[in-house]
Amino acid sequence: MSIAVYPGSFDPITLGHLNIIRRASALFDEIIVCVMVNSSKRPLFNRAERVELIKRTIARFPNVRVESSEELVVKFMKDRGAKVIIKGLRAVSDFDREFQIALVNGKLDKSIETLFMPSSEKYTYLSSTAVKEMARYGANLSTFVPKEIIEDVIKKVESEGLMIR
């Protein structure tokens, strides 16, 4: 059975992330979307909330599940028998950063491979950071995040006092 892990902070999950999940789910028997901790970011949603949001958006994919982890991704993968890390790339700047991480992961575990998937053209501009900023200004989020979680994003921005009117 081929198992791949798609790690990220997913704060929140975007239509670009969902596009990578859909495409990767056609290539592997199982995809594990892993909500990770990024120490350089201050998330809007806590890990449990992000897992719940992702669960609602991936329900249509029978071979995709979501988990979260605070450990190194290679340890997480080894414990689940996964051999491939999926990483979506929007621009060359993403590649520079992700390539370095892939090299480190390869040093930690030589059996791990990283598969870089270019973003679909219509999502190359899209990031969770951009979604949060647009939500702060009350923009229509329907072309940025899955419909299942639009209200959650709006409510969270409002409840955190981040809305700009």
Total-model pTM: 0.94
Per-residue pLDDT band for 92 (boundaries 50, 70, 90) equals confident
pLDDT digits (tens, 9 = 90+) for 20-34: 999 999 999 999 999
Q: How would you classify the pairing of strands 113-118 and 30-36?
A: unpaired
Residue 118 · residue 16 · CB < 8 Å: no
For 152, the token pair is: 């959650």
Average the pLDDT over 48-75 and give the result.
97
Find, among 104, 136, 135, 132, the residue nearest to 41 by Cα: 132
Domains and CATH numbers, the chain: 3-121 (3.40.50.620)
Q: Is 47 a catalytic residue?
A: no
Average the pLDDT over 132-158 and give the result.
95
> By mean pLDDT, which of 21-35, 66-80, 91-105 is the weakest?
91-105
Q: Is 2 a catalytic residue?
A: no
Q: How would you classify the pairing of strands 113-118 and 84-89?
A: parallel
Q: Is 136 a catalytic residue?
A: no
List 83, 90, 127, 136, catalytic entry: 90
